């Protein structure tokens, strides 16, 4: 049996946090959800164990997903953690930015069933990367 992955998810929408948590746990992984980017960064700083993957919502108040991504990618301790950006839209500017920043994958947030399928597919891809 494959080892459960430790996943962090940042989103300011509590419904989306709940959906994501339900999906990821159903797929057999452990997940910590955050609604505040500063709090997630603090946990990343003080925790000895790093997450296997980080999922970031792009549109957030205070610190948005792009700002959090830049902090993660500039950190020697965090930069190697695969990051997946989550958004309801994919403007060309965002695709280029994510590519330039080394984002592992983009996931479009649809309805619950499509979101679940997209996350399952991304997690399979990420497991291959981390193997």
* 93-112 pLDDT, tens digit each: 666 666 776 776 667 666 67
The pTM of the full predicted model, rounded to 2 decimals, is 0.85
pLDDT of residue 1: 45
pLDDT computed for residue 3 by the predictor: 80
Q: Which long-range contacts (CB under 8 A, 24 or more apart) does 12-21 make?
A: 12/36, 12/57, 12/59, 12/60, 12/61, 13/57, 16/57, 16/109, 19/112, 19/115, 19/116, 20/55, 20/115, 20/119
> Is the pLDDT at 55 greater than 90, yes or no?
yes
């Amino acid at each position: 049996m494959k080892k459960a992955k430790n996943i962090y998810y940042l989103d300011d929408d509590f419904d989306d946090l709940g959906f994501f948590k339900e999906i990821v746990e159903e797929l057999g992984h452990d997940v910590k959800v955050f609604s505040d980017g500063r709090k997630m960064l603090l946990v990343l700083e003080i925790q000895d164990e790093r997450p296997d993957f980080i999922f970031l919502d792009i549109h957030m108040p205070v610190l948005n997903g792009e700002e959090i991504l830049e902090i993660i990618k500039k950190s020697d301790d965090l930069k190697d953690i695969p990051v997946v950006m989550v958004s309801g839209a994919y403007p060309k500017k965002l695709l280029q930015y994510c590519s330039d920043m080394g984002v592992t994958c983009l996931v479009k947030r649809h309805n619950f069933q499509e979101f679940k399928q997209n996350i399952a597919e991304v997690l399979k891809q990420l497991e291959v990367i981390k193997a």
